[in-house]
Amino acid sequence: MRDSWATSRAAPPSDEDGPRGVPGVDLHLEPHGSGLRAGLMDALREAVRTGRLAPGTRLPSSRSLAVDLGVARNTVADAYAELVAEGWLTARQGSGTRVARRAEPRRPAPVPPRTRPARRGPAHSLLPGSPDLAAFPRARWLTAARRALTAAPHEAFAYTDPLGRIELRTVLADYLARSRGVYAAPERIVVCAGFIHGLMLLGRLLKARRVRAVAVESYGLDLHRNVLTEAGLRTPALAMDARGARTGELGDLPDARGVGAVLLTAAHQFPAGVALQPDRRAAAVDWARATDGLILEDDYDGEFRYDRQPVGALQGLDPERVVYLGTASKSLAPGLRLGWLVLPEELVGEVSAAKGGVDWASSSLDQLTLAEFIASGAYDRHVRSMRLRYRRRRDQLVAALADRAPGCRVTGIAAGLHAVVELPPGTERSVVEAAVWQGLAVYGMDRFRHPSVPPGPDALVVGYATPSDSAWPGALDALCRVLP
Amino acid sequence: MRDSWATSRAAPPSDEDGPRGVPGVDLHLEPHGSGLRAGLMDALREAVRTGRLAPGTRLPSSRSLAVDLGVARNTVADAYAELVAEGWLTARQGSGTRVARRAEPRRPAPVPPRTRPARRGPAHSLLPGSPDLAAFPRARWLTAARRALTAAPHEAFAYTDPLGRIELRTVLADYLARSRGVYAAPERIVVCAGFIHGLMLLGRLLKARRVRAVAVESYGLDLHRNVLTEAGLRTPALAMDARGARTGELGDLPDARGVGAVLLTAAHQFPAGVALQPDRRAAAVDWARATDGLILEDDYDGEFRYDRQPVGALQGLDPERVVYLGTASKSLAPGLRLGWLVLPEELVGEVSAAKGGVDWASSSLDQLTLAEFIASGAYDRHVRSMRLRYRRRRDQLVAALADRAPGCRVTGIAAGLHAVVELPPGTERSVVEAAVWQGLAVYGMDRFRHPSVPPGPDALVVGYATPSDSAWPGALDALCRVLP
């Protein structure tokens, strides 16, 4: 299509009062899109943008351009009028239609639409933090979407309640009580766009309450610490050991009076993999009660426990002191951007306000789809089936390492989507580098270390849920090859 | 199911070293959920929560409770062990299993899940800001979702690019160029969760750039001003007249040097309904160039223009000075939470960073569904069909008012989803109140006034797109009845 339309000559540019002696320019009109007028407008805009039609250039009269192009005069006149309204051209009595002085030329051509160059990814990934995306239950999710979309009231398409859809909150309250021992009522639940969004809302709330710091476990995700830092909060490190975070030391942190909350991965510490032991749970609650503090419980993979029933959430111990943060990112997929907060009653209003009045973050249709997905039992079935799949992989991991890397102990394997492979002292960095050469993406423990604590024992954090079933054996083999 | 399980007697509570003389309490175990152990755990948790089992209470031995309940002893022992792990109970050699001291009793009973009381809404709504939600193309949206879900690569379920899915950005670039004259390339587009999210991101960016204020039109949404205020920006008012915002006065605002951006509804001022005239567009661009300022173009309903082609977006005039904000909230539905920014090239990185590293806000599946919806032509067809529907309503509104309220002039009707009905001086408040009595929700112009400007002429802002087709005649009739 390009260059296929007639070209036409623009009259020479002129100064304010009359024609100047600049030679005429070809308009080279290149219509695209449908419709004569729209195509003409596009072509003129582009000619101005690229500088082919300079500011001040006088355009041919609509009559003569129409003749050149073989179109109705009105088509050209309308296009000119539109472009005058948009500010591209000016029309003045006696001076004709000209390119507006302000439409300054830009760089030669628009950036052509293109996809970004495909990055050569690693051949194998055992990075933690992702479920097996190939196992996303597409058909059943679509069934739920169809049911939800069919049943939704019209108001489901409107701006929605900042707490989230009541249908989802009702179903979640039941599910969380049943599967995680969470003391949940729909009125305490706020739907959010995944964990990060929930943590942003809480960071804002804590800052508004004049909290100065949130204690974090000495190993964790820098992304989470950054969210709190960006909310204006410090993130002092709480030491950990084999029984979990040393919550009894919350009162001994530097500037302890400014610490208004603690972020804990109680069911399955990320990344160390230990469960917070009963005395540590009790100490956390005691601290919160004594200091009017809050516990933020990041229950990211609480559904996945392999050798016995899941350990229930800490939240049930004191629902007025613990904020429970749950997510569909590990149980279904991060791409859904669906998470939930279960809040102390007195915080519901503040969190809702922190959302900005309307629920601007989460699609109502997605919320209704998830509600239908849980209510139909598809969620439980999916979690059960993934639990079996991940347990099998975990067992294969343990067996393979016992066989091929007997010097490396595996820990943190009772639950979750990752395990910790302990390494001989001083070898972590070289093992991670060796993995790169094997095309295997895997993180060392040190990557998750809080910057204020000294390096700990060498280890790898192995996300065994990440590969697809077909990619898993190759990834496991690559791992065994790089272990000492 | 409640109260249907056997009850059992707990042994009397005791102090640290032995039994105390408190009479035994009925456990009143009320299992819910499936599974004996899970049911027992739920029942025990609830008994502790509600205070029926006080801290320190000694529980019956697992053997005797198992006999009472007629279940296997292991079931009870496992349940006790789980609850010890969760911190609800303590187990000590020689002292048996007791309710943990820390699990302090809470208020009598959990809040029962309930939907919020149905608010009696008005019989008719002509509030602006919403499309006809009953016309949401459910079947075609679902078709697009099915296609998108079927075709999506596995990585679509992962954490995604903070710019948004490339598939959507590519399709949007084409659509925006074609329908709105926007100079768009996928690399300049950032997908966001609707306009508010986009404005939050920009507010954060401007604040980080040490901008102190964003000029806003003297009539607009307080929600938008609040987003900017919460980002730490002042929002001085820019005067308006029948040609739109008086952008030539941007340099004369108080503390003009701190004003780093201006928020404009150029295609169809909200709520006044005028289009920003060419000279005003030029003045805005001139100001931005002279002061290194930014224009934030809120193109909320640019697709809906009735009597001629839509006026193209201001953005095309200077893509390096104008941030274009578009949304699916008016063209499809607010409940989708999908919007987009088209950014000056140099800002893309900053906005992406302001999103926090991952796109935590927008579901990948929704983005792919919208991409498919646009690419298949369904979006264009929907917009065309809604344009016809809204134009018909607008014509009916104008005709009805000419007939039944000839003293009230209608303006702002060339485009958009609302019109302004001018009222005799001093009657706005009484008309809005009369509307309440008629069961008609409608806003007066004054509701949108910037607090720093004096009250303007009396008028109603009539959102004629809001009702469903079946509700529209009644709403129009109610409106005519309350007009003077």
**HEC-encoded secondary structure of B95-117:** CEEEECCCCCCCCCCCCCCCCCC
Q: How many helices (H) and strands (E) does chain A have?
A: 13, 19
Q: How confident is the model at residue B18 (pLDDT cuts 50, 70, 90)?
A: very low
Handedness of CA A71, A72, A73, A79 (dihedral sign): negative
Whether residue A145 and residue B145 make contact (CB cut-off 8 A), yes or no, is yes
- Mean pLDDT, range A66-70, rounded to an integer: 77
Residue B117 has pLDDT above 70, yes or no: no
What is the per-residue pLDDT for A44? Answer: 85
Amino acid found at A431: V
Residue identified by tokens 């062990």 is B81
Residues of A with Cβ-Cβ distance to B363 under 8 angstroms: 335-338, 363, 366
pTM above 0.90, yes or no: no
Whether residue A149 and residue B138 make contact (CB cut-off 8 A), yes or no, is yes
Most confident residue range from A210-214, B100-104, B113-117 = A210-214
Residue A467 has pLDDT above 90, yes or no: yes
**Cα distance from A352 to chain B (closest Cα, Å)?**
15
Residue A85 has pLDDT above 90, yes or no: no
Whether residue B185 and residue A113 make contact (CB cut-off 8 A), yes or no, is yes
Whether residue B335 and residue A275 make contact (CB cut-off 8 A), yes or no, is no
Q: Tell me the pLDDT tens digit for each residue of A189-204.
A: 999 999 999 999 999 9
Share of chain A above pLDDT 70, in %: 87
CA B392, CA A300: separation in Å to the nearest integer?
51
φ/ψ region of A210 (left if φ > 0, alpha if ψ in -120 to 50, else beta) reads left
Query: Is beta strand B440-441 parallel, antiparallel or unpaired with respect to B124-125?
Result: parallel
**Cα distance from B317 to chain A (closest Cα, Å)?**
6
- Mean pLDDT, range B241-248, rounded to an integer: 96
Q: Identify from A50, A84, A86 which residue to disrupt to test chain B contact, counting B C-beta atoms within 10 A and taking the largest count.
A: A86
- Selection from B174, B193, B180, B139 nearest residue A191 by Cα: B193
- Mean pLDDT, range B132-151, rounded to an integer: 96
- Strand-pairing partners, residue B322, are B295
H helix runs in A292-420, sequence order: 348-354, 364-375, 378-404
- Strand-pairing partners, residue A16, are none
**Cα distance from B397 to chain A (closest Cα, Å)?**
23
- Mean pLDDT, range A210-239, rounded to an integer: 96
Handedness of CA A162, A167, A168, A171 (dihedral sign): positive
Residue A415 has pLDDT above 70, yes or no: yes
Residue identified by tokens 């938008």 is B224
Q: How confident is the model at residue B220 (pLDDT cuts 50, 70, 90)?
A: very high
Consecutive H or E run containing A451: none
The C-alpha torsion from A71 through A75 and A77 to A80, rounded to 10°, is -110
* Among the partner residues B90, B114, B223, nearest to A357 by beta-carbon distance: B223
CA B383, CA B388: separation in Å to the nearest integer?
9
Q: Tell me the pLDDT tens digit for each residue of A256-287.
A: 899 999 999 999 999 999 999 999 999 999 99
* Among the partner residues A41, A187, A286, nearest to B102 by beta-carbon distance: A286
- Mean pLDDT, range B97-117, rounded to an integer: 55
Q: How confident is the model at residue A164 (pLDDT cuts 50, 70, 90)?
A: very high
B290 three-class SS:
helix
Cβ contact A304:A416 at 8 Å: yes
Residues of A with Cβ-Cβ distance to B121 under 8 angstroms: none
Q: Tell me the pLDDT tens digit for each residue of B424-447.
A: 999 999 999 999 988 999 999 999
**Cα distance from B157 to chain A (closest Cα, Å)?**
4
What is the per-residue pLDDT for A21? Answer: 28
- Mean pLDDT, range A161-187, rounded to an integer: 92
Residues of A with Cβ-Cβ distance to B365 under 8 angstroms: 335-336, 366
- Selection from A10, A94, A7 nearest residue A55 by Cα: A10
- Strand-pairing partners, residue A262, are A215, A295
Mean pLDDT of chain B: 86
Residues of A with Cβ-Cβ distance to B85 under 8 angstroms: 275, 277-278, 311
Residue A131: what are its φ and ψ, rounded to 5°?
A: -75, 175
Q: Identify from B138, B140, B157 which residue to disrupt to test chain A contact, counting A C-beta atoms within 10 A and taking the largest count.
A: B157
Q: Tell me the pLDDT tens digit for each residue of A106-150.
A: 443 444 444 444 456 789 999 999 999 999 999 999 999 999 999
What is the per-residue pLDDT for B71? Answer: 81
CA A366, CA A353: separation in Å to the nearest integer?
22
Residue identified by tokens 């007629």 is B70
Cβ contact A50:A105 at 8 Å: yes
Whether residue B86 and residue A337 make contact (CB cut-off 8 A), yes or no, is no
Among chain A residues, the shortest Cα distance to B152 is held by A138
**Cα distance from A425 to chain B (closest Cα, Å)?**
32
Residue A426 has pLDDT above 90, yes or no: yes
Q: How far is CA A179 from CA A269, B386, B446, in A?
A: 19, 45, 51
Q: Tell me the pLDDT tens digit for each residue of A8-48.
A: 444 443 333 333 323 333 455 645 545 788 888 888 888 78
CA A476, CA A400: separation in Å to the nearest integer?
8
Q: For residues B217-239, b (16+ Cβ closer than 10 Å) or e, as one string?
A: bbbbbebbbebbeebebbbbbbe
Q: Looking at the predicted complex, does its ipTM rise above 0.90?
A: no
CB pairs under 8 A between A and B: 273
- Selection from A411, A394, A406 nearest residue A459 by Cα: A411
Q: How far is CA B232 from CA A356, A455, B161, B202, in A?
A: 15, 39, 28, 12
Q: Residue length, chain B?
A: 484
Query: Is beta strand A410-411 parallel, antiparallel or unpaired with respect to A244-245?
Result: unpaired
Amino acid found at A38: A
Residues of B with Cβ-Cβ distance to A133 under 8 angstroms: 154-155, 157-158
Query: Is beta strand A237-238 parallel, antiparallel or unpaired with respect to A213-217?
Result: parallel
Q: Identify from A201, A352, A363 which residue to disrupt to test chain B contact, counting B C-beta atoms within 10 A and taking the largest count.
A: A363
Residue B325: what are its φ and ψ, rounded to 5°?
A: -115, 115
Cβ of B4: how many Cβ atoms within 10 Å?
8
| Cα B110 from chain centroid (whole Å) | 29
Mean pLDDT of chain A: 86
What is the per-residue pLDDT for A58? Answer: 84
Whether residue A170 and residue B196 make contact (CB cut-off 8 A), yes or no, is no
Lowest-pLDDT choice from A256-260, A304-308, B250-254: A304-308
| A252 exposure class (CB count in 10 Å sphere: 0-12, 13-18, 19+) | exposed
What is the per-residue pLDDT for A31? Answer: 52
H helix runs in A52-106, sequence order: 62-69, 73-86
Whether residue B317 and residue A87 make contact (CB cut-off 8 A), yes or no, is yes
Q: Tell me the pLDDT tens digit for each residue of B51-99.
A: 777 788 888 888 888 877 778 888 888 888 888 888 888 888 777 888 8
**Cα distance from A103 to chain B (closest Cα, Å)?**
6
What is the per-residue pLDDT for A19? Answer: 34
Residues of B with Cβ-Cβ distance to A42 under 8 angstroms: 177-178, 181
Residues of B with Cβ-Cβ distance to A197 under 8 angstroms: 360-361
* Among the partner residues A133, A152, A281, nearest to B155 by beta-carbon distance: A133
SS3 of chain A: helix, strand, coil, percent, to 5: 40, 15, 45
Cβ contact A295:A284 at 8 Å: yes
Consecutive H or E run containing A340: strand A339-342
Residues of A with Cβ-Cβ distance to B337 under 8 angstroms: 359-364
Q: Tell me the pLDDT tens digit for each residue of B397-411.
A: 999 999 999 989 999
Consecutive H or E run containing A428: helix A428-437
What is the per-residue pLDDT for A171? Answer: 96
* Among the partner residues B113, B178, B363, nearest to A173 by beta-carbon distance: B113
Whether residue A185 and residue B110 make contact (CB cut-off 8 A), yes or no, is yes
CA B239, CA B251: separation in Å to the nearest integer?
12
Residues of B with Cβ-Cβ distance to A275 under 8 angstroms: 85
Amino acid found at A40: L
CA B342, CA B187: separation in Å to the nearest integer?
9
What is the per-residue pLDDT for B310? Answer: 65
Domains with residue ranges and CATH for chain A:
5-99 (1.10.10.10), 124-134+380-482 (3.90.1150.10), 138-376 (3.40.640.10)
Share of chain B above pLDDT 90, in %: 64
Whether residue B45 and residue A312 make contact (CB cut-off 8 A), yes or no, is yes
Q: How far is CA B464 from CA B312, B460, B475, in A?
A: 23, 12, 9
What is the per-residue pLDDT for A27? Answer: 56
Q: For residues A10-27, b (16+ Cβ closer than 10 Å) or e, as one string?
A: bbebbeeeeeeeeeebeb
Among chain B residues, the shortest Cα distance to A134 is held by B154
Q: What is the largest CA-CA distance in chain B?
A: 91
Q: How far is CA B243 from CA A93, A124, A483, B298, in A?
A: 20, 61, 72, 17
Residues of B with Cβ-Cβ distance to A116 under 8 angstroms: 166
Among chain B residues, the shortest Cα distance to A331 is held by B157
Lowest-pLDDT choice from A171-180, A199-208, A248-257, B308-317: B308-317
φ/ψ region of B367 (left if φ > 0, alpha if ψ in -120 to 50, else beta) reads alpha
Q: Tell me the pLDDT tens digit for each residue of A347-375.
A: 999 998 887 656 667 899 999 999 999 99
What is the per-residue pLDDT for A102? Answer: 64
Among chain A residues, the shortest Cα distance to B200 is held by A356
DSSP class of residue A408 equals S
Residues of A with Cβ-Cβ distance to B49 under 8 angstroms: 183, 316
* Among the partner residues A102, A158, A200, nearest to B334 by beta-carbon distance: A158
- Mean pLDDT, range A294-308, rounded to an integer: 90
Q: Tell me the pLDDT tens digit for each residue of B153-172.
A: 999 999 878 899 999 999 99
What is the per-residue pLDDT for A56? Answer: 82
Residue A92 has pLDDT above 90, yes or no: no
Among chain B residues, the shortest Cα distance to A116 is held by B166
**Cα distance from B345 to chain A (closest Cα, Å)?**
11
Consecutive H or E run containing B462: strand B459-462
Cβ contact A263:A225 at 8 Å: no
- Selection from A198, A173, A144, A194 nearest residue A368 by Cα: A144
Residue A368: what are its φ and ψ, rounded to 5°?
A: -65, -35
Residues of A with Cβ-Cβ distance to B281 under 8 angstroms: 86-87
Q: Identify from A1, A226, A317 which residue to disrupt to test chain B contact, counting B C-beta atoms within 10 A and taking the largest count.
A: A317
Residue identified by tokens 């929704």 is B366
- Mean pLDDT, range A388-401, rounded to an integer: 96
Q: Which residues are CB-neighbours of A402 under 8 A, at least 6 positions away?
A: none
Residues of B with Cβ-Cβ distance to A86 under 8 angstroms: 181, 278, 281, 311-314, 316-317
CA A396, CA A478: separation in Å to the nearest integer?
14
SS3 of chain B: helix, strand, coil, percent, to 5: 40, 15, 45
Q: Choose between A233 and A302: higher pLDDT.
A: A233
